[in-house]
């Protein structure tokens, strides 16, 4: 058995916490894992463990629990419920003294305790508040300036959805909606702006009116959040977005823990970081596990600079976990252009990276294959084609299906509108959205709008649904989070945490998808998305040339195309590698100088120097 397979087998073994606590001493940890475990035992500082893709992060979390004092109280904050269940069911975590949950579950438990068991999640709460908010603002036109521009049914629906979106981002980012300047920055940052479904006025006049309506929406958010808080305090009704926000607003005090281990910390939003900080204020030592180069959830309200801000706010020691046991050497070589300190397992079996044509891919699918795409529409097209070939196929992300259904509902004013008027409403509004985004040189937003439109139109053309309810159910049936089909399709965002022996990445020529308006944080996250995509493959990575109207059902053998892998993407990989390497080295030197300056004794200085040497060697850089 080679070292790589031994690691995999040992990390998957089920055992009791007592057995694992003994086993952890002889477990075949690599040099970085051993250093981290020794540092955790010898230091009292908060720590940031920067774990590359496939580095055995979950196993290290389990090892950390086993090496901490046996009577210590430990909290593990996992990224999602799947990781929570994985940690609980493997049997290595002593759940009698180690609490494992998502941050949302932690926040909910605090609210339940505060409300003496009366707290309950109500997914219809936002809809109820929106009705009350709109009624309030329409009944006081002299105060709220709402009737200057009368809105039709569809226009009012879009206005209500904008209020809901702005309120959600205010809660996630802890932005005060009464601070107009900050709220305007928020809307600009996340593209939260009102747009008419059609061109009603000349371009300049319509733009000014749309800006004014966006300001009305911001005013409505102030009232919306006050009502949301009032309902929560009086009835215990909570929306999902209320959880972290109310814990922060009401300054709820969490239970005391000795240690708090936070998974996927690079994708925390401001409200989640505030909750983690409250644990530190209660005496918990914080250990963050994550990877700045896998920060990809900025579009949902996560702080794109979360990893750096965490390091600064909590003064963490930054520790590398840089060996990827998942990917073959050819994949590692390619991915190192994005993450220069990424290292491969020397005993990993040989695989391949190939740039191929789309013809015949579905004919060659094997059980356990994974198909990835930056956007949803290609996944729907390929999933339906796979089903027509009698393959067991599903798309990851049930809530994506629910989101598309919510969009579809916006354009149905009456059941009798299906499908003609629905199609007219959908197409005219998206045409307007895409045109406006392109005029503003926001190519990424335009691509996202186009993707949503294509998803709905392609489903409509394929389903031949007799009514709207049937259409919605057929759409939802494409998505599944519970069962692993023979062929799993996923957006890159949804694939984080997944792996497969063979991965097919659709339309790699469009990656990273850079935005014309040059929002730096969006460009950085697009590059991170490429890294996440490349690092899902264990043995074989196929970059699938997918022309705009490519038919996934076309038969054939897998055909390799005559083009260098490094030239497939929109990014100059060599130039980017040099740039990132310099940034990381500057950061390492700064951390070293600051650490030496703040060191309490010679032993701590030796630790800092040792860590500095490790980081420099990872970048294959001469030591200063």
Name every residue whose Cβ is closer than 8 Å to that of residue 495 and which is 6 or more positions away in sequence.
370, 372, 396, 532, 533, 536
- In this structure, what DSSP letter does residue 415 have? G
Mean pLDDT value of segment 385-392:
92
- Do 31 and 248 meet the contact criterion of CB atoms below 8 Å apart? no
Token code pair at residue 314: 């909590």
Listed residue (267, 262, 279) closest to 110, CA to CA = 279
- Residue 78 belongs to domain with CATH number: 3.40.50.300
Q: Measuring CA to CA, how many Å separate 618 from each of 32, 46, 179, 528, 614?
A: 11, 23, 45, 19, 6
Instruction: Indicate the pLDDT class of residue 12, thresholds 50, 70 and 90.
Output: low
In which band, very low, low, confident or very high, does the pLDDT at 167 lie, cut at 50, 70 and 90? Answer: very high
Residue with more model confidence, 54 or 592: 54
Do 458 and 544 fall within a single domain?
Answer: yes
Strands (DSSP E) found in 390-452: 393-395
Q: Are residues 475 and 394 in the same domain?
A: yes
Inside any domain, residue 245: no
Structure-model confidence comparison of residues 614 and 74, the more confident one: 74
Is the pLDDT reported for residue 3 higher than 80?
A: no
CA dihedral 253→254→259→262, nearest 10 degrees, is -110
Tell me the average pLDDT of the chain: 89
Whether residue 288 is found in the same domain as residue 205: no
- Judgement on whether residues 159 and 47 belong to the same structural domain of the protein: no
88 neighbors 82 (Cβ within 8 angstroms): no
Residue 592 pLDDT: 82
For residues 520 and 541, membership in a common domain is answered with yes
- To the nearest 10 degrees (0 to 180), the angle between helices 468-476 and 443-463 is 110
Q: What is the pLDDT of residues 191-243, one digit of tens each?
A: 899 988 888 788 888 888 889 889 989 999 999 999 999 999 999 999 999 99
E-strand stretches of 86-135: 98-102, 120-121
Report pLDDT digits (tens) over 398-438.
Answer: 889 999 999 999 898 887 789 999 999 999 999 989 988 88
Q: Which pLDDT score, from 0 to 100, does residue 1 have? A: 32
By 3-state DSSP, what share of the chain in percent is helix, strand and coil, each rounded to 5? 55, 10, 35
Predicted local distance difference test score (pLDDT) of residue 6:
47
Backbone CA torsion sign across 137, 138, 141, 145:
positive
265, 295, 321: which is the final residue of a domain? 321
Q: Same domain for 314 and 278?
A: yes
Per the annotation, where are the binding residues for ATP? 51-58
Query: What pLDDT does residue 11 have?
Result: 53
What one-character-per-residue DSSP string does 6-47 give? HHHHHHH----HHHHHHHTTTS---HHHHHHHHHHHH--S-E
367, 453: one domain: yes
Beta bridge partners of 101: 77
Which carries the bigger pLDDT value, residue 198 or residue 395?
395
Q: Are residues 343 and 305 both part of a single domain?
A: no
What is the spatial distance between Cα 213 and Cα 352, in angstroms, rounded to a whole number?
Answer: 53
SS (H, E, C) 294-342: HCCCHHHCCCCCHHHHHHHHHCCEEEEECEECCCCHHHHHHHCCCCCCC
Q: Is position 535 within any domain?
A: yes
Paired with 213 in beta bridges are: none
Binding residues: 51-58
On whether both 67 and 200 belong to a single domain, the answer is: no
Residue 135: CB atoms within 10 Å: 10
pLDDT > 90? residue 394: yes
Residue 6 covered by a domain: no
**pLDDT per residue as tens digits for the range 327-344:** 999 999 999 999 999 999
* More confident site: 605 or 112: 112
The band of 57, judged by pLDDT with boundaries at 50, 70 and 90, is very high
Whether residue 188 is found in the same domain as residue 261: no
State which residues form the domain around 382.
329-569
One domain, residues 529 and 454: yes
Whether 505 has a pLDDT exceeding 70, the answer reads: yes
Contacts of 252 (CB under 8 A, 6+ apart): 110, 111, 114, 246, 278
Evaluate the omega torsion of the peptide bond into residue 512 and state whether it is cis, within 30 degrees of 0: yes
Which tokens hold the place of 384? 């339906």
State the pLDDT at residue 144.
Answer: 47
Question: 333 and 305, same structural domain?
Answer: no
Inside any domain, residue 241: no
Instruction: Report the distance separating Cα 561 and Cα 509, nearest Å.
Output: 13
Q: Quick check: 588 and 611 in contact, CB under 8 A?
A: no
For residues 156 and 539, the model is more confident at 539
Sign of CA dihedral 485, 486, 490, 496: positive
Where residue 530 falls (left for φ over 0; alpha for ψ -120 to 50; beta otherwise) is: alpha
235, 261, 290 - which closes a domain: 235
Q: How many CA atoms lie within 13 A of 474 on its CB side?
A: 20
Q: What confidence category does residue 506 fall into, taking pLDDT thresholds of 50, 70 and 90?
A: very high
Give residue 623's pLDDT.
Answer: 37
The pLDDT tens digits for 532-558 are 999 999 999 999 999 988 899 998 888
Count: domains in the chain: 4
Residue 201 lies in a domain: yes
Residues 6+ apart with CB under 8 A from 178: 222
- Does residue 515 form part of some domain? yes
Last residue of a domain, one of 176, 203, 235: 235
Helix (H) or strand (E) holding 504: strand 500-506
Residue 429 lies in a domain: yes
How much is the pLDDT for 387? 94
Does residue 98 form part of some domain?
yes
Helix (H), strand (E) counts: the chain: 23, 16
């Amino acid at each position: 058995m080679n070292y790589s397979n031994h690691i995999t087998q040992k990390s998957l073994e089920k055992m009791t916490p007592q057995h694992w606590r003994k086993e952890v001493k002889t477990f075949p940890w690599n040099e970085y894992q051993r250093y981290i475990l020794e540092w955790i035992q010898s230091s009292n500082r908060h720590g940031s463990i920067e774990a590359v893709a496939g580095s055995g992060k979950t196993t290290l979390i389990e090892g950390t629990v086993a090496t901490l004092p046996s009577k210590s109280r430990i909290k593990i904050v996992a990224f999602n419920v799947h990781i929570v269940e994985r940690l609980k069911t493997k049997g290595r975590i002593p759940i009698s003294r180690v609490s494992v949950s998502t941050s949302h579950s932690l926040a909910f438990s605090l609210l339940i305790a505060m409300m003496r068991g009366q707290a309950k999640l109500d997914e219809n709460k936002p809809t109820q508040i929106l009705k009350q908010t709109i009624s309030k603002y329409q009944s006081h036109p002299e105060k709220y300036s709402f009737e200057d521009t009368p809105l039709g049914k569809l226009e009012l629906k879009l206005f209500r959805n904008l209020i809901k979106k702005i309120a959600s981002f205010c809660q996630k980012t802890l932005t005060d909606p009464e601070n107009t300047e900050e709220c305007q920055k928020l809307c600009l940052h996340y593209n939260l702006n009102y747009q008419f479904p059609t061109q009603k006025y000349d371009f300049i006049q319509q733009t000014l009116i749309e800006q004014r309506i966006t300001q009305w929406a911001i005013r409505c958010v102030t009232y919306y959040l006050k009502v949301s808080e009032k309902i929560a305090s009086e009835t215990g009704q909570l929306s999902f977005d209320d959880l972290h926000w109310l814990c922060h607003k009401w300054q709820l005090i969490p239970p005391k823990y000795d240690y708090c281990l936070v998974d996927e910390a690079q994708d925390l939003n401001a409200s989640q970081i505030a909750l983690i900080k409250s644990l530190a204020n209660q005496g918990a030592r914080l250990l963050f596990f994550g990877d700045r180069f896998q920060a990809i959830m900025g579009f949902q309200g996560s702080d794109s600079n979360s990893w750096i801000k965490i390091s600064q706010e909590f003064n963490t020691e930054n520790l590398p976990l840089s060996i990827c046991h998942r990917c073959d050497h050819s994949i590692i070589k390619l991915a190192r252009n994005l993450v220069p300190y990424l290292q491969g397992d020397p005993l990993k079996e040989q695989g391949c990276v190939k740039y191929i044509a789309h013809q015949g891919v579905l004919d060659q699918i094997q059980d356990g294959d994974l198909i990835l795409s930056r956007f949803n529409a290609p996944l729907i097209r390929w999933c339906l084609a796979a089903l027509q070939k009698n393959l067991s196929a599903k798309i990851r992300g049930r809530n994506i299906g629910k989101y598309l259904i919510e969009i579809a509902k916006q354009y149905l004013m009456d059941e009798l509108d299906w499908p003609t008027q629905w199609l007219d409403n959908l197409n005219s509004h998206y045409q307007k959205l895409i045109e406006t985004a392109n005029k503003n040189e926001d190519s990424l937003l335009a691509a996202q709008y186009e993707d949503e439109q294509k998803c709905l139109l392609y489903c409509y053309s394929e389903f031949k649904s007799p009514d709207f309810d049937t259409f919605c159910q057929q759409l939802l049936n494409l998505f599944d989070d519970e069962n692993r089909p023979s062929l799993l399709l996923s957006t890159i965002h949804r694939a984080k945490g997944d792996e497969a022996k063979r991965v097919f990445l659709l339309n790699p020529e469009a990656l990273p998808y850079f935005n014309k308006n040059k929002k730096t944080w969006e460009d950085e996250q697009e590059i991170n998305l490429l890294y996440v995509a490349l690092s899902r493959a264990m043995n074989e990575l196929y970059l699938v040339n997918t022309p705009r109207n490519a038919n996934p059902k076309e038969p054939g053998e897998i055909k390799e195309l005559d083009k260098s892998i490094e030239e497939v993407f929109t990014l100059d990989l060599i130039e980017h590698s040099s740039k990132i390497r310099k940034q990381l080295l500057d950061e390492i030197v700064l951390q070293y100088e600051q650490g030496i300056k703040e060191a309490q004794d010679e032993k701590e200085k030796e630790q800092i120097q040792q860590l500095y040497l490790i980081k420099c060697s990872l970048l294959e850089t001469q030591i200063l």
